[in-house]
Amino acid sequence: MTGTLFVVATPIGNLADLSARAIETLRAVALIACEDTRTSRTLLAHFGIATPTMALHQHNERAAAAKVIGVLREGKHAALISDAGTPALADPGAWLVAEAHRAGIAVRAIPGPNAAAAAVSAAGFAASRFLFAGFLPASAAARRKALPALDLPYPVAIYEAPHRVRETLADLAGHFGAEREVVIARELTKKFEEVSRLPLGNATAWLDERREREQGEFVLVLAPGEERSASTLDAERVLDVLLEALAPSEAAKLAARITGVPKSELYRRALERSK
């Protein structure tokens, strides 16, 4: 009999968010694979959990996973945690989980905190789904290129680092327009937590209002865009590609010929895009 791999969500700030089942599981397993053993020590010590730990992060994931699988094959149970929130969501761990499945080892999730889910739930955009976009590319050019794919008729949750949040909010305003709303969820569950819903055009002023607002951890939830037909979406994709090489009028003319969407509509959009 092999053991079970428990994928355990841990707090994203407030230690009281560790569930009773998570505590019980972390106490009961033979080994805890942690993204960073030093970070997790604080959490484990707080709950008096003395289970042995080992590091499993993006630089040693395969070798570390093999060791955990070895323990599971001996019939012992193991847990996977990350520094904060749900493992394998913008965090290491997916390789170990996949290896466990490949080895026929039972995998169980102990669900709990996740920054994206918390931010979307506190954003108040009525929608039956959302896109978890994770972190956008770090370079400005690549980030801007990624934005057209985020124009969706449902909310988009974006993780962002504090040193890039100003630039990303400005890029979002440039691409989606000043009127589109955003929810800035900062330091969720922590002492200086803020959840503010505002038009993208006011985001820079919001940051400027208090210097400390540019510090901490952020989730940005972009409000849903308009529902658009498949043909309009295709035409916009074609237009975006053509705009990489052509002037707005040329790009709109060719996109209209390729897709059948009226040229005037595409020209208006091309002008917005090239602002």
Query: Where do contacts with ligand SAM occur on this chain (CB under 6 A)?
Result: 12-13, 82, 84-86, 89-91, 114-116, 159-161, 185, 187-190, 217-219
Smallest distance from ligand SAM to CB 35, Å: 9
Q: Ramachandran region of residue 199, left (φ > 0), alpha (ψ -120 to 50) or beta?
A: beta
Based on CB atoms, which residue is closest to ligand SAM, 78 or 188? 188
Q: Report the side by side order of strands in the sheet with 106-110.
A: 53-55, 31-34, 78-81, 4-8, 106-110
Q: Report the side by side order of strands in the sheet with 218-222.
A: 131-135, 156-160, 218-222, 181-186, 194-199
Based on CB atoms, which residue is closest to ligand SAM, 61 or 187? 187
Based on CB atoms, which residue is closest to ligand SAM, 35 or 236? 35
Pairing of strands 218-222, 181-186: antiparallel
Based on CB atoms, which residue is closest to ligand SAM, 182 or 185? 185
CA distance 71 to 13: 30
Smallest distance from ligand SAM to CB 214, Å: 14
Smallest distance from ligand SAM to CB 241, Å: 30
Smallest distance from ligand SAM to CB 12, Å: 4
Based on CB atoms, which residue is closest to ligand SAM, 56 or 255? 56
CA distance 173 to 167: 10
Smallest distance from ligand SAM to CB 106, Å: 22
Based on CB atoms, which residue is closest to ligand SAM, 96 or 239? 96
Long-range Cβ pairs for the range 164-168 (8 Å, 24+): 164/138, 165/207, 165/214, 165/218, 165/220, 166/204, 166/207, 166/214, 167/140, 168/136, 168/143, 168/220
Smallest distance from ligand SAM to CB 193, Å: 7
Based on CB atoms, which residue is closest to ligand SAM, 72 or 117? 117
Smallest distance from ligand SAM to CB 180, Å: 20
Residue nearest to ligand SAM (CB): 85
Residue in this structure with the two tokens 């739930």, named with its chain if needed:
121
